[in-house]
Amino acid sequence: MKDGLTLDYLETIPKTDLHLHLDGSLRISTLVELAKQENIELPSQTEEGLKELVFKDTYKDLPDYLSGFAYTVSVMQNPENLERIAYELAWDNLNENVRYIEVRYAPQLHIHEKLSMQEVIEAVAKGLERAKKEFNATEAVKNGTDLPFHYGIIICALRWFNKYMSEYYRKLYSVMSYAPHHRVFAAASLELAQAGVKLRREHGLPIVALDLAGAEAGNPADDHRHAFTHAHDNFLAKTVHAGEAYGPESIFQAITDCHATRIGHGTHLFEANMVKSDRIENKQRYVDELVEYIARQRIPIEINLTSNLQTLPDMKSVAEHPLKKMIKAHIAANICTDNRLVSNTTVTNELHLAARELNLSRKEVRNLVIAGFKGAFFPDGYAAKRAYVRKAINSLNKIDADCDAANA
């Protein structure tokens, strides 16, 4: 690769991960241990067996990719396990110099008669906070030679509940079986948004945004308009999975109906052939104007290269990913992992993949990294965020200067 973009360089620089699913990012050793502890049967009792049968490098389709979540969620049904998994995730990121993360998950997949939504969110926050205090107490952080660690929590509403949904929502669904499916899911989303606003405001929990995840096909974001309007009316940030399976209209709906100020994936942003509405006569112009709007409004797009390759059969290589087009269109794209376990990846690996397969310059990689810091839903206020972004840029500048000196 050009400009000294070695794996060592990419690991050394400070990084972020803004699209990071808790239930897709466990340590596989922890999953094995907790499954034994909780008497949960796995397809294999060894890490090697699970990597062969469940958590693979390639998947045949999205259902195959999602199958592993049945096992991860099953061990995340008590506060102790949730806290441990969050704590370990923070340190996994810290160990590759990721200094800011936003951990997202659907609390409604973990609540039951013995575990409330507040307890679920508190447990995850407790694990992340413990790692933060440990790292920020190190001498390197205290003397200013290393960037402190910060985090936020994103709560995920789901476009639909599949067979892995919690027993609590199985019962809710059976009670509301007379209602159309989308009304059940919309009610659950509104409940989550209301709880998130209250827990952030009254209990000080570091909830930074509401997300909408799950299959786009047949599950439009518009169904969840009331939940996202509630978040919007109460100054909670919004990000939406969009443009992963559907096209530009899904991204537009996320921005307009759900007030999203960040987009997860956005993979089919440029696909005019995926515009379906008969009301849009000039589909290419629609796409061009949407791209320009996203660039002009500085709406970040959370890029997940490996998971896109694993879940989108038509995408045969990273070279076919639209990230390069996004860079040329001046979109604030940033690099994320999506699921560290399920996709068997790290932020460093994702940056290396992008740089190698798309022939990115060091300046382009820098911009992706800085966009991650700038696009963060930072929990401590705008002034604190600006100061933190400046520290991150200064740290990156120093590493670049050292790299240039070494290569001179």
**Beta carbons within 8 Å of 384's beta carbon, 6+ residues apart:** 378
Closest residue by Cα to residue 354 from 369, 342, 343: 369
DSSP 161: -
- Residue 1 inside a domain? The answer is no
- Residue 2 inside a domain? The answer is no
Q: Which residue has the tokens 């994702």?
A: 350
DSSP 245: S
Mind telling me the catalytic residues? Answer: 244
Per-residue confidence (pLDDT) for residue 103, from 0 to 100: 98
- Residue 163 inside a domain? The answer is yes
- Residue 278 inside a domain? The answer is yes
**Backbone phi, psi, residue 67, to 5°:** -60, -30
Q: Helix 382-407 and helix 362-374: axis angle, to 10°?
A: 160
Residues facing 241 on adjacent strands:
264
Round to whole Å and give the CA distance between 394 and 144: 11
Tally of domains within the chain: 1
Got the DSSP string for 108-154?
Answer: GGT-BTTB-HHHHHHHHHHHHHHHHHHHHTSHHHHTTSSPPPEEEEE
From the number of C-beta atoms within 10 Å of its C-beta (0-12, 13-18, 19+), residue 88 rates as middle
- Residue 305 inside a domain? The answer is yes
Contact 373, 35 (CB under 8 A): no
- Residue 114 inside a domain? The answer is yes
Round to whole Å and give the CA distance between 232 and 209: 10
Closest residue by Cα to residue 365 from 9, 96, 95, 92: 9
Round to whole Å and give the CA distance between 321 and 317: 7
> What range defines the domain where residue 397 resides?
7-407
CATH number of the domain at 37, please. Answer: 3.20.20.140
- Residue 333 inside a domain? The answer is yes
**Beta carbons within 8 Å of 235's beta carbon, 6+ residues apart:** none
DSSP, collapsed to helix, strand or coil, labels residue 63 as helix
Per-residue confidence (pLDDT) for residue 180, from 0 to 100: 44
DSSP, collapsed to helix, strand or coil, labels residue 102 as strand
What does each of the 408 residues of the chain score in pLDDT, given as a tens digit? 667 789 999 999 999 999 999 999 999 999 999 999 999 999 999 999 999 999 999 998 877 888 899 999 999 999 999 999 999 999 999 999 999 999 999 999 999 889 999 999 999 999 999 999 999 999 999 999 999 999 999 999 988 765 444 454 545 544 444 344 556 678 889 999 999 999 999 999 999 999 998 776 667 777 899 999 999 999 999 999 998 878 999 999 999 999 999 999 999 999 999 999 999 999 999 999 999 999 999 999 999 999 999 999 889 999 999 999 999 999 999 999 999 999 999 999 999 999 999 999 999 999 999 999 999 999 999 999 999 999 999 999 999 988 888 776
